Amino acid sequence: MLRVAQGTADLEAATCLVVEVWRKAGLPPPSPIDAGEESVVLLVEEGGAPVGTMTLLFRGPTAVATRFAIKRRSVLSAWSVLVAGALQEMARRKVQIMATTVNPATQRRWQKCLGLVTVARGLYVELGNVPAVVMVGSVDAMRKKWKH
């Protein structure tokens, strides 16, 4: 089940999930989100427990998808639910462009399922110099590709 995090307990659950998943992957804890940034935290739950989360940061007509974390046993189902929820939330807010930084191993999935385009490759310094790919796409085109 997908829902938007509401209140301190939900935000703590999302943060704990990110810290747990990233720690198991050998990554440092995420940087905190600035209090002034407009954001929405999506949570996917199974049996009442969070198994996936994604944060969307909004900046005018653009959004940045960040702080992904999905428990390994739920990767494909939670990823699909998070993407569908993010697309719905961005459409509701009339966002035109989305950007995200992804693991190179998942780049093909983002491209195939959503039509995102790779604009940069390098190292994600905040995460201890792990390989990363920056991808962008039109939200309208992403929604059409997702439906197809």
pLDDT tens track for 27-70: 888 887 777 789 999 999 988 889 999 999 998 899 998 888 89
User: In this prediction, what percent of the chain has a pLDDT beyond 70?
Assistant: 100
Residue that has been written with the tokens 């039109």 in this structure? 138
Region 73-94 average pLDDT? 88
- DSSP per-residue codes, 101-118: EE-GGGHHHHHHHH--EE
Average pLDDT over residues 87-114: 92
List the domain range (segments joined by +) for residue 61: 2-147
Instruction: Read off the CATH number of the domain in which 106 is found.
Output: 3.40.630.30
* 38 contacts 57 by C-beta, under 8 angstroms: yes
> pLDDT at residue 119 above 90?
yes
Number of separate domains in the chain: 1
pTM value is: 0.87
- The pLDDT of residue 54 is 93
